[in-house]
Amino acid sequence: MSRWFAPGRINLIGEHTDYNDGFVLPLALPMGCATTVAAADARWTVVSAQEDGEVVVTPSGLSGRDDVPDWATYVLGALWLLHDDGVDVPPLRIEVDSDVPVGAGLSSSAALVCSVVCALDEQLGLDLGSDGLLALSRRVENDAVGAPTGGMDQLASLRGEAGHALFCDMRDLTSQSVPFDPAAAGLTLLVADTRAPHRHADGEYAARRRGCEQAAEALGVAALRDVADADLDDALARLDDEELQRYVRHVVTEDARVLEAVDVLRAGRVDDLGPLLTASHASMRDDFQITVPEVDTAVEALLGAGALGARMTGGGFGGCVIGLVPQDSVDAAGDAVRRAFAESGFGEPTVFTATAAAGARPA
Ligand code: GLA
């Protein structure tokens, strides 16, 4: 039997840059998913503490993609891919239990997939290593589930380090831990889960990704990461599509903000992160156009209550907002978000504090 835990994540900064071969700066959360894998007789059974019933797959289902509920594809996906790769996957019972809220933009899916992949790696003696675990986790989401995501979430979930953010170069998939200790600067990372229903998030995400690829092609570069910040005006002048111009401006300036954020954290100037977060939000709202009224309202409320900076985190169209808030303003900032939501007629948000925790580990 093997049992692994993998966390959800918050992205501090660097949104929609991962699939543009760019830079991201996420951190692993204390919340996550624990997966237990044990040998079984004849069949593959998947059980979730958050779902009713068991999903049972017979040998033909291992290659034939039986009709299974959506959540179970995040678990069975790893088995399907290993089977396709020629790995002899013996019958197993897989139990998952997660406390990452679904649909909040905190990567409940990466926590689930990474904990399953790590537990399978140990149970089956696959010895995938760090790069192999990342590759298989990404394939589960991209190929088995069919979500065209960019790899940041799995990297953060697998490689996060307590007390640190993870600076990732999404071109070569290298990562470096960068100290992130807001408490030492008298600050708290506050999270407001807007609980706004994701509106068309999947289709809009895929559309942004396509737009970025079109822009890169029009500019003759492999990916938008190859457009230097200093060359942005030139690049924009070479595009006549207003939408693509906005996408390029977001991605190029966001990559630059990530690099600056890494510099300020390495210099121990956590408070200087604030303006970068707020600028990132403005870029997502005005240029990339992936925010919704709930997240914009939460950001304004946090800033109005004294946050040094605030932004939506994750893929967009709902989900969570983060704010860098002085410790003595944490209660006031939470109240401000709840009040603003009540005044706007939005549902009640959930507000909590977050710290950087360790990535995937045996549980
Ligand atoms: C989602 C995807 C990530 C990344 C973010 C946006 O979380 O899973 O790969 O693209 O959106 O930064």
Residue-wise DSSP of 236-279: HHT---HHHHHHHHHHHHHHHHHHHHHHHHHTT-GGGHHHHHHH
Enumerate residues lining ligand 1, CB below 6 A: 11, 15-16, 18-19, 149-153, 314-315
**Coil, strand or helix at 48:** strand
Averaged confidence pLDDT in the chain: 96
Regions of the chain where pLDDT drops below 50: none
Alpha-carbon torsion, ordered 165, 171, 173, 175, to 10 deg: -30
Question: What is the model's pLDDT at position 67?
Answer: 81
Please state, in angstroms and rounded to a whole number, the distance separating the CA atoms of residues 210 and 64.
Answer: 30
Distance 10 CA to ligand 1 centre (A): 11
* Residue 171, CA distances (Å) to 47, 89, 159, 222, 342 in order: 36, 32, 16, 11, 43
Return the sign of the alpha-carbon dihedral for residues 355, 278, 276, 25: positive
Distance 175 CA to ligand 1 centre (A): 16
Return the sign of the alpha-carbon dihedral for residues 99, 102, 104, 109: positive
Please state, in angstroms and rounded to a whole number, the distance separating the CA atoms of residues 88 and 75.
Answer: 17
Q: Which residues contact 51 (CB under 8 A, 6 or more apart)?
A: 69, 71
pTM higher than 0.95 for the full model? yes
Question: What is the model's pLDDT at position 201?
Answer: 76
Please state, in angstroms and rounded to a whole number, the distance separating the CA atoms of residues 209 and 136.
Answer: 21
Percentages helix, strand, coil for the chain (3-state, rounded to 5) are 50, 25, 30
Please state, in angstroms and rounded to a whole number, the distance separating the CA atoms of residues 189 and 318.
Answer: 19
Give the up-direction half-sphere exposure of residue 291: CA atoms within 13 A in the CB hemisphere: 23
Question: What is the model's pLDDT at position 248?
Answer: 98
Residue bearing the CA closest to ligand 1, atom 8 = 149
Question: What is the model's pLDDT at position 200?
Answer: 67
Beta-ladder partners of 5: 34, 361
Residue bearing the CA closest to ligand 1, atom 2 = 149
Q: Could you say which of 153, 193, 255, 272 is catalytic?
A: 153
Which residue, among 125, 120, 109, has the nearest Cα to 157 in the 3D structure? 109
The answer to whether 153 is a known catalytic residue is yes
**Residue among 13, 16, 25, 102 to mutate when testing ligand 1 (max atoms within 8 A of CB):** 16
Which residue, among 35, 43, 33, has the nearest Cα to 8 in the 3D structure? 33
